[in-house]
Structure 1
Amino acid sequence: MDVVSDAISTVRTGRPASNRVRVAGSWATRLAPYEGAGFHVVLEGACRLVPDGGEPVRLGTGDAVLLPHGTGHLIADVRADAASLARAAPFEEWRTDGPARRPASDAAHRPSSEAGAVELLCGKYRLDRSRAHPLMRELPNVVHLPNRVGSHPELRSAIDLLGGELGGRRPGAGIAVPSLLDLLLVYMIRSWMAEDDTGGWPAALGDPVTATALRALHADPAAPWTNESLAAEAGVSRPTLARRFAALVGRPPMAYLAWWRLTSAAALLRDTPDSLAAIARRVGYGTPYAFSHAFNREFGTTPGRYRERAAPPA
């Protein structure tokens, strides 16, 4: 596993959900804050996104937007005024499935080719933020990825494939759609990293020394790593690794490793039936006792109690 895959997999829970919605005329809908991440892709037309406490963002055809921290927001017609925004209906009441239908509150149905029609792909990812990787925490409240010629071809392809799957009831869509939604999340985060020139984690993964060390730790967290062996893996001296790693990641290599081992263990406790002994071995602890002691020190609870609380409802 690589760092980005691990950062996503430790917080992803359950299955993503999505709706394809087509509207025209004057409209506005509100999505409440959510314990997960939301996204919108504009398949046709243009609209406006207004995040709680943030500046409006105009979205055009082919634009994608990710709200990785579940920020509440409005989606509206570009011409909607303040009064229309104040009357925005909750998304759960407003949404319509299918590419050629409109909200039930609209009496007239406009043809799909009419100017002003907007088609959206809206969705949510369920996330467990209790031990989110710092890469995920660093994402801004709104990640806007405009549709520019030649930019992010993988993201564009995923959008096209997903729109096609949701536009018709094809055999195998029950597997294809969740898989494409997972791909969409990966590509949106990749695209943000490619465009962000100020974030610490894009810089960390762009630095050859730090990136090599991170890949090694994530590939085999159970290995008996030391500062010396990790520096040798990265091809630099121990002081060079310590300086560059701490500056970009925010903590020394061995402190990051200890945190990542326990974060990985928490995900295994949540998502697998593996025994404490098996999980201890997978994350680099020699005995269940040593693992339980470190886990309790980090989380303030035992692994068994953590598993009980983290288990999904029956």
Structure 2
Amino acid sequence: MDVVSDAISAVRLGRPSSNRLRVGGSWCTRLAPYDGAGFHVVLEGGCWLLPDGGGDPVTLGPGDAVLLPHGTGHVIADSPADRATVARAVPFEQYAGSAPQGGTELLCGKYRLDRSRVHPLLAELPDVVLLPNRVGSNPELRFAIDLLGRELEQARPGACLAVPSLLDLLLVYLVRAWLAGASTGAWPAALGDPVTAAALRALHSDPAAPWTNDRLAAEAGVSRPTLARRFTTLVGRPPMAYLTWWRLTYAATLLRDTADPLATIAHQVGYAGPYAFSHAFNREFGTTPGRYRTELQDRPPLPVS
């Protein structure tokens, strides 16, 4: 695995959902804050997006994509959203259930995320990530958008598997495009630094390995002091502290997504046995692994939409 894949896998819940929306004339709709991430892709026409909290309106044209990684509430409309526009906004569900009409077509969707252990890479994403449709930029993202549009044009055999898979792929490409285009931020810098990126790749590829600072420095091809300085500066914590945090975060994902016994999970994340694993997990999460899993099982099931 790699950092981006692991960061997304650790927080993603259930299946993503999407709606294809066609509107025209004077229109304005509101999407309430959401415990996950949302996105919009303009397939045809254009619109404006106004995030909650007084952010500047964002104009969207054909092929533009926008990711709201923290589930920020917002309005999308046919014109710049001022106070009067926001006041007349109707719930998105009302538009999503209406008959298609008009010259603007959007693909709108959302991902369920577990906010209890968000990787700092995802936490660093801004409230609104705009990825404009520029010739030659982000070709994989453009290809995924085209595929999604085609799948949603009509019901095709296998669409129930294809669409959620393409939506997951879209999220990866959206995050990847942000990383490639970001001019500031700790994690774009960390993944762009060859030494830190090599160390992160090694830790995520095999978190259960008996890593030491010396072994990790050799993997990255630098001295131990160089690794410690560059890694700590860019990631925000020393290599072994990051490894401990990631092992326990990964363990929490395994407790959520598998029925593996604690001894198996302990081994998968680099602990000699359940006792050492339980002690470390309790220190990080304030509860034992068994109680953590039980509390997850006692949660009400996720709603369908």
TM-score bucket of the superposed structures, by smaller chain: over 0.9
Match of 1:210 in 2: 196
Contact 1:38 1:68 in 2 (8 A): yes
Contact 2:29 2:95 in 1 (8 A): yes
RMSD: 1.2
Match of 1:290 in 2: 276
1:220 to 1:279, Cα distance in 2 relative to 1, 3 A = same
Q: How far off its partner does 1:304 sit?
A: 1.1
Count of residue pairs the alignment pairs up? 299
Match of 1:23 in 2: 23
- What percentage of residue pairs aligned between the two structures are identical? 76
Q: Structure 2: which amino acid aligns with 1:26?
A: S
Give structure 1 stretches of 5+ with no counterpart.
103-109, 111-116
Could you report, residue by residue, the CA deviation over 1:49-90 in whole angstroms, capped at 9, with x for unpaired residues?
Answer: 000011110001100000000000001012665323212111
Match of 1:140 in 2: 126
Could you report, residue by residue, the CA deviation over 1:209-229 in whole angstroms, capped at 9, with x for unpaired residues?
Answer: 100100000001000100000
Contact 1:26 1:79 in 2 (8 A): no
Give structure 2 stretches of 5+ with no counterpart.
none
Q: How far off its partner does 1:309 sit?
A: 2.0
Q: How far off its partner does 1:230 sit?
A: 0.4
Match of 2:179 in 1: 193
SS in 2 for 1:10: helix
Contact 1:26 1:80 in 2 (8 A): no
2:245 corresponds to 1:259: yes
Could you report, residue by residue, the CA deviation over 1:95-119 in whole angstroms, capped at 9, with x for unpaired residues?
Answer: 137xx714xxxxxxx5xxxxxx110
Query: C-alpha separation between the residues in 1 aligned to 2:148 and 2:97?
Result: 17
Contact 1:28 1:89 in 2 (8 A): yes
Match of 2:60 in 1: 59
Q: How far off its partner does 1:93 sit?
A: 1.9
Match of 1:276 in 2: 262
Deviates most, 81-90 or 264-273: 81-90
Within a 5 Å distance, the mapping from 1:101-120 to structure 2 comes to 101-102=100-101, 117-120=103-106
Could you report, residue by residue, the CA deviation over 1:228-279 in whole angstroms, capped at 9, with x for unpaired residues?
Answer: 0000111110000000000000000000000000000000011111111110
Query: C-alpha separation between the residues in 2 aligned to 1:170 and 1:3?
Result: 34
Q: How far off its partner does 1:140 sit?
A: 0.3
Q: How far off its partner does 1:197 sit?
A: 1.3
Contact 1:20 1:96 in 2 (8 A): no
Contact 1:47 1:75 in 2 (8 A): yes
TM-score (norm 1): 0.93
Contact 1:27 1:80 in 2 (8 A): no
Match of 1:74 in 2: 75
Match of 1:41 in 2: 41
Q: How far off its partner does 1:92 sit?
A: 1.4
2:18 corresponds to 1:10: no
Query: C-alpha separation between the residues in 2 aligned to 1:197 and 1:126?
Result: 28
